[in-house]
Amino acid sequence: FVTYGKWNDAATASVNANNNSGPVYNNNTSGTSYGFQVETWF
């Protein structure tokens, strides 16, 4: 999957204030994430 998102400066400040690992997305107001997902059921 690939996901792209945009958010405002207030959301950036809110997330970064509660994150002990440092700024998320380097204080940008947009970002992309990607990964691989597998599902199964019986």
3-36 pLDDT per residue, tens: 999 999 998 888 888 787 777 777 889 999 999 9
Which residue has tokens 């998320």? Answer: 24
Q: What is the pLDDT of residue 15?
A: 84
Q: What is the pTM of this model?
A: 0.58
Q: What is the pLDDT of residue 28?
A: 87
Q: What is the pLDDT of residue 17?
A: 85
Q: What is the pLDDT of residue 22?
A: 74
In sequence order, the 6+-apart residues with CB closer than 8 A to the CB of 2 are 32, 33, 34
